[in-house]
Amino acid sequence: MNDKKRKVVISKNYEEGEDYTKGSSFNDILVDTLKAKMGGSVYILGKEDTPSDVKEWLTTGSTVLDMCICNNPNIDGGIPVGRLSEISGLQSTGKSLLAYMILKDCISKDGIAVLIDTENSANIEFLNMLGLKPDKNLIYSQVDTIEDVFSIIEHVITEVRKTDKKKLVAIVWDSIAGTSTRKEMEEDVGDAQVALFARLIGQGLRKIKKLIGEQRICLVFLNQLRSKIGVSFGDPYCVDPFTTKIRVRYRVD
């Protein structure tokens, strides 16, 4: 009985010759007026490019890993441009190597590579061996605090926006777990810092998240895995609980 009713309703609508393009035309007009009012931040998905589209990828140096991350065998894959990606893992498991390969691929595409090293662990001989040539094509920064890291990221994005919006930029932060805060640096060891890391990172990301998609920015954060205390079953590791639990779309463990 329900199938018969449904068939009658569908056939009746088509017999009436209902114009389904009217809504689409009205949407176009509405989007145009909203763009004029909001400054171009309104889109019709599927009809025009939006900051949520991923059209470009930077390789990690591993074809298999690139395909696993993008989950699409028909493209080269890798780390997405226009997204925040987190690479987390145990110590000495190759996180920095993956990040350096991402920077190298950015340089090979005539992009700007920025390495923010809060662990002071970058090795110039190793970087040269990978073909990065830090004295020529790599912007390297050593800072101590989360506030300084986001200041650098925001400055790079702002300057690129002024000169060339289409310029590819890859920024690597190595690493979250090795970065302190200004308050922590000023106080004594042992003083409580409840949720300070997560709050600062959340504030920084809210300021730059929209610019990342619009300015061809590939932002990569490296983070540490820590052992959970008292775990007898299941995964004994978690992202460093003293930094943050970043929610990202693409993540490599």
What is the b/e burial string over 195-233, where b = at least 16 CB atoms within 10 angstroms of the residue's CB?
Answer: ebbeebbeebbeebeebbbebbbbbbbbbbbbeeeeeee
- Give residues with Cβ within 8 angstroms of 77, minimum separation 6: 57, 59, 66, 67, 68, 69, 70
Are 234 and 71 spatial neighbours (Cβ–Cβ below 8 Å)?
A: no
pLDDT digits (tens, 9 = 90+) for 25-43: 778 888 788 878 877 677 7
Average pLDDT of the chain to the nearest whole number: 79
Domains of the chain: 2-38 (no CATH), 57-252 (3.40.50.300)
pLDDT digits (tens, 9 = 90+) for 232-246: 666 666 665 444 433
pTM of structure: 0.75
pLDDT digits (tens, 9 = 90+) for 79-134: 999 889 999 888 888 899 999 999 999 999 999 999 999 988 898 999 999 988 88
